[in-house]
Structure 1
Amino acid sequence: MISPGKGHVVRRRGRPAAQPVPAKAGHMPAGRLPSGLRRSDMQFIRASVLTPILNYLRNEEEILQRVMLRHFNSDVKCIDSYDLIPLHTYVRFLEGIAKELKTEHFGLKMGQSSEAEEILGPVGLLFSRAPTLRVAFRQMMRYINTWQTATHTALICENEYAAMEYQIVDRTIWPRRQDAEFSISATCKIIRDMMQHQWRPVEICFEHAPPENPKIWHDILRCPVRFNQGSNRIVFWAADLDRRIRGHDPGFLKYMERHAEDLVIGQNRNSVVEQVEWYVEQHLSSEDLSIVSIARAFGLSVRSLQRRMADSGVNMRELIKGKRLTMAATLILNGDMPFSSVAQIVGYSDSTTLWRAFRAWSGVCPSAFTVADMERLQGEAEAHGSMHGDITYEENISPDTNF
């Protein structure tokens, strides 16, 4: 029930409480994933969401680099906007930056400097260019899981009030204050831009505990703010839902919707493999890279991860080995670093171990490896459906293969 000023269900023992919500049109009850996704699916968010963080921290390069290495083991500037980041990792990353900056309202401030397309790509464009808020929320609820999975969004209408609800479904992802405040703050900012800066919410609710100085939250969000609630919500006047928004482009929206539909289709094809592939590429230098560490990063059991990879015809050991050796081949061809450094970068304990693995994989020793050898390996992979760094799915590879 939407009751501004009266609160909802209070969180206890550090986790958000379950909250029964009336089943209304377009509403997905909290705790249930959308159709087509299972709890065994890995939870991800696309890397475009990092864009406003980069912009916000452009003068804090040292902090950004330190936190990026801690959580992603890579340079964020090399990440493509469509890359898939484990949701657990992303949420921890936001919490880590807030601690480094000693800024409790980091997510809140960052949301106020974000654009829809930066955060949600084509889904954000569909939202921000919609003819009305009602259409905008409908589009977001339809396509949100192509950009961020395991996420509950809902539009609830009751009498003169409406509420947009946002919550990560997985309750093991906690704390998640920065994600919640970033998402709610950014949504308010985007709606305000759509409404020509005249719009303001009636009330905002957060699932987490209140900060030491709530006045900052009130000032930034321009409305009363309540904490320890059953979910994260933006409460506003229902009449705002059908106000016409200037500047929407039906032709542009048609193409964006087609792109979003393509993402829905593509998400159903080997999405787990793509997420694991990205994670492996970002953690090649770690000697601890294994199915155990990958499963832990994605919040899955080892058995669940093995089953999902096997369903796509991919063997984890061969995937990791292929990625490491392909990267080693690229570094060798560049020819600007010692072989011992190559071994360290791609996660081998010593250069001798890499030398043996590389020769067995490529058929030549590293010092004799040429561009022609790389082209030969790529051609063999395409012809035989085997894996030499780039993944193909036609052939199961023996699980007994060593790294």
Structure 2
Amino acid sequence: MKGPGLTRACTMGPIVAAVEATGGSVTRVFRRAEMPLSLMDAPDCLILLRDQCRLVEEAVRESGDPALPARLAFATGIDGLGAIGRHVRACATLGEALARVEAIRPTLLQTATWTGLRREGEDAVYGYAVTERIEAGRQTNAMLALGYLLGTARHFLGPRWRPGRAVLTGAVLLDRAEIEWVFDCDLNLGPRAGLHFDAALLATPNPAPGPLLEAAPSVPPDGLTACVAGLIELALFDGRPAIDGVARRLGLSRRSLQRRLEAEGTGFASILQGVLRARAEALLAEGTTPIGRIALDLGYADAAHFTRAFVGWTGVTPSMWRRLHRKSPGFERTSPFAGPGRSPG
């Protein structure tokens, strides 16, 4: 069963920088989007795609600049896509790069979105769409994505290249002239964002190829279990997460969430324990955070309660686990989506 789309918190970095550059309040943006500001210290944390859309929308509101997502995309360029940007730079031709993005986007960046290439006669259409129902921030998110689509194409075709047609999601576009100026091309409105251009351009060679990279999944597969685990990890920034809060973020009732997790063969308590164990092991492996501090960060009343839970997961105390890990760094690491007492298989 598919769950809501996920993305990485690292996508928020450029948004924060853009808000700060306009003199806006990043704290206010995160509060309106109902996101913890401390998330900026955890770029690999999973967040809901709908939360990122809402954050972009709030950043536009705070800055008073409808063209902010377009500026964001051009300021960060394809390098702002992280691993995907490095894969693009490694491809021999534009066509190969667009095919590579389509193949690796769900594992390296986010789920519940589509980025792909299709042919319409002698034209190629490089498009983007959100595949789950998200209303808030849909156009601003598409504007950000369109900027990255243009950045990818212009890496091969030159910074002044213009598509035959560029399409942005939505029925109305505020400040169209300014957005077109930033994108340096005319815009049409339609149900799916994308670029239309001569298919012969797909053979354009890479002007500055980088080293070949192997795709390595970093975003978990679609599924409610992965979404709940990501929301629990996110909620740990504000204290011990509760099932009611997670259900609300997903737009579900408590009972509906329980039933759907049962259908995936798990439950909220099991996922919570798996996330707590994985987070505890990560903090212990760093070797600098006191065990009492780890206990409080994970929502335990004191170190004794945390120690009892940790012994139940691993069979050893936190201090013993840390010593064993220092002797053998590969010792008993756990997936954040494993249940209590289970190692990843």
> TM-score by structure 2 length?
0.76
**Alignment partner of 1:284: what SS?**
helix
- Other-structure match for 1:26: none
1: CA distance between counterparts of 2:121 and 2:101? 23
- Other-structure match for 1:17: none
In the alignment, is residue 231 of structure 1 matched against residue 192 of structure 2? yes
In the alignment, is residue 263 of structure 1 matched against residue 217 of structure 2? yes
Question: Aligned to 1:302, which of 257, 275, 278?
Answer: 257
> TM-score by structure 1 length?
0.66
In the alignment, is residue 66 of structure 1 matched against residue 2 of structure 2? no
Q: Given residue 144 of structure 2, which amino acid in structure 1 is its aligned partner?
A: F
Question: Aligned to 2:208, which of 237, 241, 247?
Answer: 247
1: CA distance between counterparts of 2:306 and 2:206? 59
Q: Is the 2:232–2:272 Cα contact (8 Å) retained in structure 1?
A: no
Deviation at 1:91, TM superposition (A): 1.0
Q: 1:332 to 1:143 in 2, by over 3 A?
A: closer
**Alignment partner of 1:179: what SS?**
helix
**Alignment partner of 2:110: what SS?**
coil
Q: Is the 2:274–2:338 Cα contact (8 Å) retained in structure 1?
A: no
Deviations 1:42-86 (A, max 9, x none): 420123322322443444576223323553213243123x33221
Deviation at 1:245, TM superposition (A): 2.3
Q: Is the 2:69–2:140 Cα contact (8 Å) retained in structure 1?
A: yes
Q: 1:319 to 1:110 in 2, by over 3 A?
A: same
In the alignment, is residue 103 of structure 1 matched against residue 103 of structure 2? no
Q: Is the 2:225–2:271 Cα contact (8 Å) retained in structure 1?
A: no
2: CA distance between counterparts of 1:56 and 1:291? 34
- Other-structure match for 2:98: 137
2: CA distance between counterparts of 1:280 and 1:216? 40
Give ranges in structure 1 of 5+ residues lacking alignment: 1-37, 348-353, 365-371, 397-403
- Other-structure match for 1:10: none
- Other-structure match for 1:112: 74
Deviation at 1:109, TM superposition (A): 1.4
- Other-structure match for 1:290: 242
Deviation at 1:305, TM superposition (A): 5.2
Q: Is the 1:204–1:234 Cα contact (8 Å) retained in structure 2?
A: yes
Structure with the bigger percentage of helix: 2
Aligned length: 322
In the alignment, is residue 44 of structure 1 matched against residue 6 of structure 2? yes
Question: Aligned to 1:149, which of 111, 114, 131?
Answer: 111
Q: Is the 1:56–1:110 Cα contact (8 Å) retained in structure 2?
A: yes
Q: 1:225 to 1:129 in 2, by over 3 A?
A: same
CA RMSD of aligned residues (A): 4.1
Q: Is the 2:9–2:45 Cα contact (8 Å) retained in structure 1?
A: yes
2: CA distance between counterparts of 1:182 and 1:390? 30
**Alignment partner of 2:196: what SS?**
strand
Identity within the alignment, %: 18
Q: 1:137 to 1:362 in 2, by over 3 A?
A: same
Q: Is the 1:108–1:182 Cα contact (8 Å) retained in structure 2?
A: yes
Give ranges in structure 2 of 5+ residues lacking alignment: 284-288, 310-315, 325-331
**Alignment partner of 1:104: what SS?**
coil
- Other-structure match for 1:280: 232
- Other-structure match for 2:307: 362
